[in-house]
Structures are given as structure tokens and as C-alpha cells.
Amino acid sequence: MMKYFTSFITKWRRRSGALEACLQPDGQRLLLLAILILHSSFFIPHSLKAQDYVRRAPDLDRLTQELFAEIQSDEVPYEDLYETLLQYYQTPINLNTATREELRSLLLLNENQITTLLRHREVNGDLLSVYELQSIEGYDLRTIGRILPFVSVQSSNTNSSRGNLWQRIAREDNNALYLRYERVLQERQGYTPPTIYQGQPTTRYLGSADKMLIRYRVSHTKDFSLGFSMEKDAGEQLIWNPQNGQFGADYVSAHLLIQERGKLKSLALGDYQLQFGQGLLLSSGLGVGKGAETITTLRRSSVGVRAYSSLLENTFFRGGAATYQVAPTVQATAFVSHKNVDANLQQSLDSLAQYDEFTSGLLYTGFHRTASELANRHQLAETIGGGNVTYTSRDGNLAIGGTGVFTHYGTAILKRPEPYNHFEFSGKENLALSINYSYVYRNFLLFGETARSTGGGLGTVNGLLASLGSTVDAALLVRHYDPNFHTLYGNAFSENTRNINETGVYIGLKVRPVAKWEVSAYYDQFRFPWLRYRAGAPTDGHDALVRLAYSPTKTSLLYVQLRQRLKPRDLSTAEITDLNPVRALPLPGEQLRQSILVYYNTAVTPQLELRTRMQALRLRDDIGLPWRSGYVLAQDVGYQLNRTLKLTARYSIFDADDYDSRQYVYEQDVLLAVSVPALYGQGTRLYGIAEIRLNRAMTLWLRYAETRYRHQNTVGTGLETIQGQLRGEVKAQLRVKF
């Protein structure tokens, strides 16, 4: 039906003769829009009804399943991924002014869809409504439904008619304060009275078991963002000592971002993030890498300066950054940052050593709960400066940029003298320079970045995305990072957690053979030319994924996903003994992981939603060694009781042989919070959330979660140890909108 109406209107606009002369283009589009709205009343889900439509909060759980379903790691910055999605929801991208790079940053559109939208905008002018997306080639209802929470349709100059900056801030609707409290109910060892061991009191947490957060933010798309965050982790103290950088809560962050002030495209003061090119030198926010989405998440977007309001204590810059429009096709960005980061400083015992004081590395936990953690707090001064210059052609198809980043530490970094640290960064200063590019030719996107750091290390990543038809997308990416390539704030595509000591080739494919079905897959072959931690020799491996997804209705999704990863690492002494005499030398074993994931999501009624998830894996450290395994079965129920109350709950059972076979399962949480617990051993996990709308200005979230273990008398390790089989957590959050 939709294709018929679109085809009819297109032909009518081209051939209608006298009627064409009587009816102006805007009138034609209004007629088409009326037909689209009529069509929508029958075919579009509720989330698209009414701005014209009422923007609903994104279904982050379902979106997580679709984009990042196979992220099984404790090294993924879930908080940053989630925070970026929420930023897009709170300050949606204006489809009438968005650049190609901004549309790419959504990670929900392929290059062909972006091109057709820009072409439609160029030919027909600004979109009149989100319904108009249905008339653009490549935008099916599933695609439109996914991007709706993160986009808007507004006139190109909305800010100019809203008063001066401070008036716009005062009148902004996207203006809210969040107050959060959470606590583990059972007593953990770190909060018990200290005992005497070898004449010394044992280590204990210095603060209370309460975790508290205050967060405020007011922002408007392409205009401004202003906010602050204050967080006290469980075990930390509330201390007021400005001379030592302590202002009550242990973590304090604030930012001001101003955008689109004539040629001044952005100005950030306080805490901010930067992303240019493919993230080889500067990367922040939504960098997903390998996952269930095998095409669009492969490349990074040059989103430039971004406000920072997350709670991660080590992924941001603190100071100032500005982007200026030097010419219609050239933008220049400069930035400077200075902050103190956590590090364990040590005194050199060698009088002939180059440095009297040094640190073996930076500490990234962000915890300051014990005397030793407090002693390491903000001990290392970090100063960073640099910039970027980018040329973008008038049609947006070609972009070329250059980036430079200079880093200086107040105390030298000297890694431990282990063989795998031979090429690691050492000293106080590092300079890295890069060139990045992207070029669109028809349905092909070429992109890449190449960089060089102090010491001569080279890093490069280059890729190709291709729409081979309306139903087939393909991707190819090649990367190489020298063992002595050092980038301290980079996060380009890689198998390692850092862009160092790696060479690899990635191939991705996505096919939609028939309506409602989608097949996606990737194969990644990688090699580590030098030693790594827990790998005492150069190694190579592979990672492969296949996923079959079926959407029988607009409100249901079923998929099955298989993944295999071979990544060598050193065997333990016991494992070497078991293999002897097959292997006499302690070379890395070939650890093989195989996993399966089955997920089903359906809305039984507009109020009731059900989600079922089963995931399992097995692994072995080498041929000849036994398999270990783990699995999780989880059932979710969501019910919208009325306009003021929404209830969500999950019950799951898990069984994992050991920590290596642990299972990560994304959980729904209060707004702006993330929960991805690691489950191992045997037991059950459940949680329940009540979202209560008290009035138009205030919303309250209440959450309870517990993990109950079998066949063990304690939960956790070290200072987190709980006597018993149960760990329960409570969380409450109040949002006040101004």
C-alpha cells in the first residue's frame, strides 16, 4: 500500500501538467503527508503517533539486544554506551540539519539510508514531519521505529527565535535533577570492625556502605548543555577538603557546552569528550566494535566535541575545547586538559636511575575506599593538548582531517620489567599525529585513519562499507597497530582493549532475504606479533558470529546467535602438567570459546511485554583439556499498569563452572543507570522495578535485586565477602523536572 501511494504521488508530481501549476510543491508534500498519516493510523506502531507524534523513551533493553547482544566482557564501557544513547534521546538529532557524520553516529542507519535522506532533503527541502521518512527509499517501518526516540523534525533556525542563551536555558523543557541511593543489604567484610593480623589492623573500607548520586542537566539540541554530577561510591567517605580536591562526594564533574554560535560551532568548558576520525587518537562515547550489529557499528564518527556527564572517572578531558568554522568547508578544533589521575607513585632505589620517582601505570577503578586507594587518589598530574583540522566537501561525500595530541605526565610511567611490557609506553611525554579520511561513492563508504606516536610506532585502520543492494550490506576492515604504538585516549576497532600490538582483518555481512528475516555474520582474523599479558609468545586467533533474526510482527523479535572465538593465552602450571608430554614448554594454549544465544521479545498486549533469553557457552584452554561451561535462562515481564505505574521484573537461573565461564546479562535499571552483573557458580538472580509517576514533574524508581547462590557459604571475595548465600541490593531514584 505504501509503495503504491509513494509511486502514485511521485508520478503525479512529475506529470500532472496544469494541476502541477496550480498546486505548489509544499501543497503536494502536504497531500503526500496526509496520505502517509492515514497510512500510519493503520500500520505504524504507537511510538510513531503524533510532534506530530509523542517521542517515547527508547527501549534500551531491546536496542541493546539488537546492537550489542554478544558483548560478554567486563572491559566494555557499558556506562558510556548507555549514556550516549540517553544523550541522543534527551537532545535528539534534527533530521533537517543533521550532517552525514551526525547521522552515522546513531549507529542505526546504513550508508545508503543516510545518502537517500540527504538527497531527499536536498531535492525537497526540510522534512515536514517524521511521517515523511516513509516516502524515502530504504526506510522501512522497523528502521523508522528504531531511530524515532533519537531524532526530531524541526525548522533549521529554531534557536534564533527562542531568546538569548540564558533565556533559552531558563525555559528549556529538557531540564531535570536526579537523586539516587543504593545499598547492598547484607554486611560485607569491608564494613566489619578490623581485626589484628601480625600486629597490624586488617584493611577495611573507611566510608559507609551507601552509594549516592546527585545529577543535574539541562540541554537542547545543537544549542547548549549544562550540568553537574556528584557521586559517592559504597565504601567512600564524604570529605570536604578543597585543597586536596575533595568536595564532599568523591567524584565531582561539571560541564558547559555551547554550540552553533555563528562560526563558533562548539565551546566546551569543564569536562568533555572528543572523537575524531576512527578514534585512533581520540575516541569517546558509543564505540561498540564487534557485536550483533555487523555493519553500522564498525566505523566511528567524527562527532568532535561532546559534553561529558557520565560517571566513569577516567574517560574524559577537563579544561576547554572549541571548534571554529575557518571556512565553509573547513573546521578547526583546539583543546587543552589538565587533571590529576590515580596512580601508585614509587621511589627509585637506584641512584643512577633516570627518574627519582615513577609509577608503573594508571589506576582506572575510580574507587577510593581504603587507606591505600586514598593514597593513590589523584597522584599523577596529566596535561593534554592538541587539535584537529577537518575539510568536508560541500556535498559531504569527502572528509579529510588531521589530528595531533600531546600528553605530559608530572611523573614518569615505567612499566614492570616483564617481557610483555618491552614495547609499552615509558617516560613523561607522548606525541601522536594522525590523518583520517572518509569518502562516499554511490553505495560505498571508504574510511580510515593512520597515526604515528613518539618512538616511531605506527597504527592504521581502514575499512569499506558497501550496500550491494536493497537487501545486502557488506563490510571489510583491516587494522595494524605496532607493539610500540601508543595512544592513551584512543579506542579504534580492535580485539585488544587497547590499540597496540595487533594486526587483523574483519569481514561482515548482513542479508535480508525476505521480509521479516535478517541474517548477519562476521569473521575476524587477528594476530598479536609481540607478547601480551598472559600470553608468553606471539599468537593469533579468530572470532566468528552468525545470527538469524525474525520479526513476525512490529512488536516481536526472535533471534538465534552463534559465536566462536579462539584467543590463545598461557596455560596454568597444572594444565601444562596435565598435557605433558604432549607439551613440555609453557607456550600459550589455544583457548576456544563457543556460545549460543536465543532471545524472544513480544508485546502480548499494549500493556504487557514478555522477554525470554537463553545463553550458554563452553570453553577449553587447549586441545586435550576438559571443557567448562556456563548458561543462563532468564524470563522478563513488563506491565504498564496505568499512566502512573510501570512494573518490570526478571527471574533467571544460572550455572557456570568457574569465573572464566561466567555469564553477562544486560538488566533493566533505573533511568541513567546500568546493570550488567557477572554470574558464575550456581544460583538464581531476580530483580523488580517500579516506575511511579508522582506528578508531571516528579518520577520515582524503586528497584530490588538479589542473587542467591547454591552450594557455597560465602558470596564475593576479599572485602566484598558476604557470609551466606544471598546478596541483595536496593536502589531508589527520584527525577525532578523543572
Residue 47 has pLDDT above 60, yes or no: no
Under 8 Å between Cβ of 546 and 561:
yes
Percent of the chain with pLDDT over 90: 58
Under 8 Å between Cβ of 652 and 675:
no
Under 8 Å between Cβ of 85 and 59:
no
Under 8 Å between Cβ of 597 and 614:
yes
For residue 214, CA distances in Å to 89, 179, 227, 310, 341 come to 20, 5, 11, 12, 22
Which pLDDT score, from 0 to 100, does residue 1 have? Answer: 44
Grid coordinates in use for 233? 561510591
In this prediction, residues 486-501 reach a mean pLDDT of 92
Which pLDDT score, from 0 to 100, does residue 641 have? Answer: 93
Total-model pTM: 0.88
Grid coordinates in use for 127? 522534512
Domain positions in the chain are 2-74+92-154, 627-738
In DSSP notation, 380-405 reads: EEEEEEEEEEEEE-TTSSEEEEEEEE
Which pLDDT score, from 0 to 100, does residue 246 have? Answer: 81
In this prediction, residues 21-32 reach a mean pLDDT of 51
Residue 378 has pLDDT above 70, yes or no: yes
Rounded distance between C-alpha atoms, residue 176 and residue 178, angstroms: 7
Residue 161 has pLDDT above 60, yes or no: no
- Classified as helix, coil or strand, 619 is strand
Instruction: Give the residue from 449, 613, 581, 585 showing the smallest Cα distance to 61.
Output: 613
In this prediction, residues 624-644 reach a mean pLDDT of 95
Q: How many helices (H) and strands (E) does the chain have?
A: 11, 39
Rounded distance between C-alpha atoms, residue 310 and residue 215, angstroms: 10
More confident residue, 407 or 124: 407
Kindly provide the residue ranges of all beta strands, DSSP E only, lying in 69-162, ordered along the sequence.
93-94, 151-152
Under 8 Å between Cβ of 715 and 707:
yes
Which pLDDT score, from 0 to 100, does residue 579 have? Answer: 64
Radius of gyration of the chain (CA): 27
Q: Chain-centre distance of CA 83, in angstroms?
A: 7
In this prediction, residues 235-262 reach a mean pLDDT of 90
For residue 68, give every residue at least 6 positions away whose Cβ sits within 8 Å of its Cβ, in sequence order, or none: 76, 81, 288, 291, 292, 293, 666
Rounded distance between C-alpha atoms, residue 435 and residue 677, angstroms: 39
For residue 61, CA distances in Å to 68, 266, 295, 666 come to 10, 32, 20, 8
Per-residue H/E/C for 301-334: CCCEEEECCCCCCCCCEEEEEEEEEEECCEEEEE
In this prediction, residues 260-286 reach a mean pLDDT of 91
Cis ω before 61 (30° cut-off from 0): no
Measured at the CA of 658, the angle between CA 652 and CA 663, to 5 degrees, comes to 35
Q: For residue 147, give the H/E element and its range.
A: helix 141-147
Judging by beta carbons within 10 Å of its beta carbon (0-12, 13-18, 19+), is residue 434 exposed, middle or buried?
Answer: buried
Which pLDDT score, from 0 to 100, does residue 699 have? Answer: 96
Residue 45 has pLDDT above 50, yes or no: no
For residue 311, give every residue at least 6 positions away whose Cβ sits within 8 Å of its Cβ, in sequence order, or none: 79, 213, 229, 231, 251, 253
Percent of the chain with pLDDT over 70: 85
Q: What does the mean pLDDT of the chain come to? A: 86
- Classified as helix, coil or strand, 343 is strand
Range among 26-40, 195-209, 360-374, 426-440 rated most confident? 426-440
For residue 292, give every residue at least 6 positions away whose Cβ sits within 8 Å of its Cβ, in sequence order, or none: 65, 66, 67, 68, 69, 70, 520, 545, 547, 561
Measured at the CA of 265, the angle between CA 262 and CA 267, to 5 degrees, comes to 115
Q: Which residues pair with 613 in a beta bridge?
A: 599, 634
Residue 315 has pLDDT above 80, yes or no: yes
Which pLDDT score, from 0 to 100, does residue 77 have? Answer: 59
Strands 398-413 and 357-362: parallel
Condensed to tens digits (0 to 9), the pLDDT of residues 169-178 reads 888 888 999 9
Under 8 Å between Cβ of 323 and 331:
yes
In this prediction, residues 461-480 reach a mean pLDDT of 94
Rounded distance between C-alpha atoms, residue 453 and residue 43, angstroms: 54
Residue 312 has pLDDT above 50, yes or no: yes
Rounded distance between C-alpha atoms, residue 391 and residue 405, angstroms: 19
Under 8 Å between Cβ of 238 and 232:
yes
More confident residue, 585 or 110: 110
Long-range pairs, 343-347, Cβ under 8 A, ≥24: 343/376, 343/379, 343/380, 343/411, 344/376, 344/379, 345/376, 345/379, 345/380, 345/411
Positive/negative CA dihedral, 103, 104, 105, 110:
positive
More confident residue, 440 or 581: 440
Under 8 Å between Cβ of 50 and 41:
no
Grid coordinates in use for 561? 546467535
Rounded distance between C-alpha atoms, residue 174 and residue 220, angstroms: 7
Which pLDDT score, from 0 to 100, does residue 549 have? Answer: 93
Which pLDDT score, from 0 to 100, does residue 484 have? Answer: 96
Condensed to tens digits (0 to 9), the pLDDT of residues 56-71 reads 666 666 676 666 555 5
Residue 348 has pLDDT above 90, yes or no: no
Condensed to tens digits (0 to 9), the pLDDT of residues 187-235 reads 999 999 998 887 788 899 999 999 999 999 999 888 999 999 999 999 9
In this prediction, residues 429-443 reach a mean pLDDT of 95
Grid coordinates in use for 245? 580536591
Residue 702 has pLDDT above 60, yes or no: yes
Under 8 Å between Cβ of 502 and 527:
yes
Which pLDDT score, from 0 to 100, does residue 275 have? Answer: 92
Q: How many C-beta neighbours within 10 Å does residue 430 have?
A: 21
Rounded distance between C-alpha atoms, residue 306 and residue 299, angstroms: 18
How many CA atoms are closer than 13 Å to the CA of 630, on its beta-carbon side? 21
Which pLDDT score, from 0 to 100, does residue 57 have? Answer: 66
Where is average pLDDT lowest: 35-44, 471-480, 492-501, 518-527?
35-44
